[in-house]
Structure 1
């Protein structure tokens, strides 16, 4: 009954378009903010007591999306894409999933919050990412 009414009103195409606009593949369009981050050596400082410091060579800001599932082929859905922040949900079939929020303060400074499941175990972390130089130094 609902769909019949919607078809008569001609609103079904608009409803389908609206639903499709809510979930955009992460590596298609969008996420321009991540493309504007500087490449090079980055330091990720986890917040909290005894926060670990990780270094990585960042050649593409999109790598910050799945830090706990690095190098895995995962499907992505953009939940939110704004000029200075993005939220992406991803699933790595048989290996887990995650949801990452990244806020850019500058092209060399970001705030990252991520949580999910990796290899059957939960993870959750908040970190500050900062460009610290060139890769290999």
Structure 2
């Protein structure tokens, strides 16, 4: 009985420790599948913005691009995941991304930027090389 309790406790400890290590990472595994280059992010209302993606991890903090932010990985799967992040003095956010193919993503982000709320939903498609 004690042996099985110890084994079960060891398994739980290993799972919790593994989760804690994964949760402290800076990015999402699925982003390694995304091709670098120019991407067009299209909102449901048809508005679009083009960005040059040199590092797919930048997609996680779109509203706070270029800021020094700490990230916490909430979900990390082969096809996407979710992070929360904090950019001291600027704002914070929550981003969920799904990688459909290396050239197609779905991205949802929301949070606070310079004291104002934001929420965006995009379909992203790679449209070429950065110019």
TM bin, normalised by shorter chain, reads 0.7 to 0.9
Q: Provide TM-score, normalisation by structure 1.
A: 0.80
Q: Secondary structure at the match of 1:25?
A: coil
> TM-score scaled by structure 2?
0.84
Over residues 59-107 of structure 1, what are the superposed CA-to-partner deviations in whole Å (9 max), with x where a residue is unaligned? 1111100000000000000000000011011000111100000001100
SS at match of 2:92: strand
Residue of structure 2 in register with 1:32 after alignment: 29
Specify the alignment match of 1:5 in structure 2: none
Give the ranges of 4+ consecutive aligned residues of structure 1 lying more than 4 Å apart after TM superposition: none
**What 5-or-longer segments of structure 1 have no aligned partner?**
1-8
In 2, distance between residues paired with 1:128 and 1:65?
A: 14
Distance 1:32 1:19 in 2: 14
| Greater helix fraction, Structure 1 or Structure 2 | 2
State the number of aligned residues: 123
> Where does residue 120 of structure 2 map in the other structure?
125
The CA RMSD measured in Å over matched residues stands at: 2.2
**Structure 2 unpaired stretches of 5+:** 1-5
| Distance in 1 between residues matched to 2:23 and 2:120, nearest whole Å | 24
Please give the secondary structure, in 1, of the residue aligned with 2:30: helix
**SS of corresponding position for 2:13:** helix
Q: How far is the alpha carbon of 1:24 from its aligned partner?
A: 1.9
